[in-house]
Chains A and B, each alone.
Chain A
């Protein structure tokens, strides 16, 4: 399997389906594990890293995940392919640009990936669209059990799963939910939201995890405490309290926009449409920023029945714009597709060769224009 087999379309969890998918983009659960009898990676020689890689790769490739699985040797992969894997949320930046023998096992439908030799020997993650943490937990737990039949994990009765960094100790679970919060941003409430989540001991990151900004109004919320609280308690807090509350705030902000600030909303949507339909050079940051406003408008129409001059124009445009939209509810998928396929590595991989930034900006603008101008 080649990366170009998947690069021309969005992955399953980003297709706009799943519970609360208008606001909750994806649910992700990651478990960190280390092999007993080996040092942590910072103290491993290259030979020991290779041993760990081989052992874990063999185990993972033998798993029955109900999907085709393939392996990529990350340290040997071209830089562009590594960027692509990061854009696709299949590996972390740390893994893409780290040191030493390392790899990733990926299920073809991209719901599961296993990073070998990232910060810990093994980091497995499960991704689903919308708010589906319990389902993620059930599946990843099963996969973890299957792996554990074949290897011995470093585990202590007192500290649980032992990790290289003590901040991941215990359950070694990271529960992350990606949210699209454009209305909180537009109504000036995003700082308040960020402060509250911080006070609750949660981490907020941007679209591409640690160190990335909140491009396109996407925010990843995740737990920080992993010791002394069970996996099910963490998940239940997220699924039943934290996320529904944030969704409620975002919905309230959307209602506020509609009832009190519809000019602000229409201005943002109309400007976004005008620029995206006419620009000849567009950076990936600008594309994310503008597409976010279109996504908001469409979702407000679909989920709240919102009708304003700008939203009505946008809906007509999208319906005429794409074959896929003949099927109900797929207009969001069109915007999601533009979000992902215009990211720098996606653009270049699909174009077939590396491009300088100006050519990338031109190609990006062309793809967006052609998707949004089919009525002309």
Chain B
């Protein structure tokens, strides 16, 4: 795509503006952007991304999926409305209480990943460890199938079977 201003360089900056519900787009090159005095924010810290996701989305349903907006945590009294404002949760149980709503957001923040992979506290019971391993293997299997790596998928399937017995 060519720059809309100079019509010479490749457009590398793509601006989308929404004013009074009307969407307009502009595609320009870095040089013209500088001349126009357009500052390009080169990176979005994840907390900022989260806050903007929370602030911009029009409804809880769109942001959080199946609505749990009437629910409040019995342990800390936390609600999704508060999460929208503060971007932090009230207590560890909130991850269970809002189990329908949070996964969507978690998936967005973590590049599509939804289950833990990595260190497990040494005090964790054996059953839970096994559960974590199975969750990881299933996630890896999903990725292998999606990328059509059937050789790896077969190996993972065997591992899962072995782990389940």
Contacts and interface: CB of A to CB of B under 8 A. Distances in A.
Interface of A: 34, 36, 38-40, 42-43, 119, 141, 144-145, 148, 152-162, 164-167, 169-171, 173, 191, 194-195, 197-198, 201, 203-205, 210, 224-232
A42 B88 contact: yes
B50 to A, nearest CB: 6
B142 to A, nearest CB: 11
Given A39-B90, A43-B76, A224 B115 contact: no
B117 A229 contact: yes
A159 B75 contact: no
Given A166-B109, A173-B118, 19 more contacts: A34-B92, A38-B91, A39-B75, A39-B76, A40-B90, A43-B78, A141-B119, A144-B119, A155-B120, A156-B96, A160-B119, A167-B47, A170-B118, A171-B116, A194-B43, A204-B43, A226-B110, A227-B113, A230-B119
B116 A159 contact: yes
Contacts of B63: none
Contact of B118 (A36, A166, A171): A171
Contacts of A42: 86, 88-90
Contacts of B90: 39-40, 42-43
A263 B96 CA distance: 62
Contacts of B119: 141, 144, 160-161, 171, 230-231
A97 to B, nearest CB: 16
B115 A228 contact: yes
B150 interface: no
Interface string B101-136: 010011001111111111111111000100110010
B81 interface: no
Interface residues of B, number: 46
Contact of B45 (A39, A153, A156, A205): A205
Residue of A34, A36, A153, A169 with highest tally of chain B CB at under 10 A: A169
Question: Chain B's interface: helix, strand, loop or mixed, by majority?
Answer: loop
B46 A166 contact: no
Contacts of B124: 155, 157
B79 to A, nearest CB: 11
B147 interface: no
B92 A40 contact: yes
A160 B124 CA distance: 11
A229 B118 contact: yes
Nearest to A193: B42
A152 B117 CA distance: 19
Given A225-B110, A228-B117, A36 B92 contact: yes
A225 B47 contact: no
A229 B113 contact: yes
A165 B110 contact: no
A165 B87 contact: yes
B14 to A, nearest CB: 12
A152 B123 contact: yes
A195 B114 CA distance: 26
B89 A166 contact: yes
Contacts of B105: 166
A212 B95 CA distance: 32
Residue of A145, A166, A230 with highest tally of chain B CB at under 10 A: A166
26 contacts: A40-B89, A40-B90, A42-B86, A43-B76, A43-B78, A148-B122, A154-B92, A157-B128, A159-B95, A160-B116, A170-B117, A171-B117, A173-B118, A191-B30, A191-B40, A194-B42, A194-B43, A195-B42, A198-B43, A201-B111, A225-B110, A225-B111, A227-B115, A227-B116, A228-B117, A231-B118
